[in-house]
Chain A
Amino acid sequence: MADQPEGCARVTGAVLGDPSSEPAEPPATQEPVKEERMTARVGQKAPDFNAPAYYKGSFTNVQLSDYFGKWILLCFYPGDFTFV
């Protein structure tokens, strides 16, 4: 897997197909913005996303749905260099 060019921008994961994690345009009207988010639940489709990753010595990008067709174990944790 080839290294991707790295800039100094603060890159982060982004949920795909979820307007709330995409750059927002200023609302045209004064109507309250309705909070609608995808929330993960068992029995429901896993929210798809794109995220920068470190993988065996390289920097790369992962899109979750590229791995649909296999079983996936996705583990979140509080932070690198923490103790548990």
Chain B
Amino acid sequence: MSAVADKYQQLQDLGVEVFSASVDSHFVHKMWNDHELIKMVDGGIPFHMLSDQAGNIGRAYGVWDEAQGIELRGRFIIDPDGVIQAMEVLTPPVGRRIAETIRQVQAFQLVRASGGAEATPAGWMPGDIVLKPGPDLVGNVWKVWKPDMEK
């Protein structure tokens, strides 16, 4: 979670509110923050650390692991209408890449701002060309976008 905390200001600048959740109590969250995370992030974790000891929320989001009694590494991007736009679920040993989450937020924000008129091709980064789906683009994507444009 310290990786997300480290990019918290950038997420705030994009208008994103962050929540972390696990099956630990909020008391344990405090201890983890005070004794370890604060040594990795100046000032400690800046967002709400949610407690879901019974796994109720994890079940609703499909990340509850019954056998282990834990929540899998699930990451959800929710838009201002409360609609889930993206989800990524990893098993515990591999961490996420926060830069990819931020890229996806920027892409979804661009699509939303265009009212759905624009779409971002594979590998899109802010500033790259966007696609404007419509009759003229059918069969012509090759003219404006090629796989080697993905950096």
Which residues of chain A have a CB within 8 Å of any CB of chain B?
A: 10-15, 18, 20-21, 37-49, 51-56, 59-60, 62, 64-65, 67-82, 84
Known: A71-B80, A72-B16. A11 touches B61 (CB 8 A): no
Most buried by B among A38, A39, A42, A77: A77
28 contacts between A and B (CB under 8 A): A11-B51, A11-B53, A12-B51, A12-B53, A12-B54, A15-B60, A20-B59, A21-B56, A40-B62, A42-B85, A42-B86, A42-B87, A46-B83, A49-B57, A51-B21, A53-B26, A62-B50, A68-B80, A69-B80, A70-B17, A73-B78, A74-B78, A75-B4, A75-B18, A77-B71, A78-B68, A80-B28, A81-B28
CA distance A63 to B38 in the complex (A): 26
| 8 shortest interchain CB distances as A-B pairs | A13-B52, A54-B29, A47-B60, A80-B32, A21-B56, A72-B78, A12-B54, A12-B53
Q: Mark B61-92, 1 if CB is under 8 A from A, else 0.
A: 11100001011111111111111111100001
Count of A-B residue pairs with CB < 8 Å: 207
Q: Nearest A residue to B56 by beta-carbon distance? A: A21
Are A73 and B53 in contact (CB-based, < 8 A)?
A: no
CA distance A52 to B24 in the complex (A): 11
Which residues of chain B have a CB within 8 Å of any CB of chain A?
A: 1, 4, 11, 14-33, 36, 44-54, 56-63, 68, 70-87, 92-96, 101, 105, 108-109
Beyond the given A47-B60, A74-B78, A75-B4, please list 14 additional residue pairs across the A-B interface where CB-CB is below 8 A. Answer: A11-B25, A11-B51, A37-B59, A40-B84, A53-B26, A53-B49, A56-B44, A62-B48, A64-B19, A71-B109, A74-B61, A78-B70, A84-B92, A84-B95
Q: Nearest A residue to B24 by beta-carbon distance? A: A80
Measured CB to CB, the closest approach of chain A to B78, in angstroms, equals 4
CA distance A14 to B60 in the complex (A): 10
Measured CB to CB, the closest approach of chain A to B45, in angstroms, equals 8
Are B83 and A44 in contact (CB-based, < 8 A)?
A: yes
Known: A47-B61, A70-B16. A53 touches B50 (CB 8 A): yes
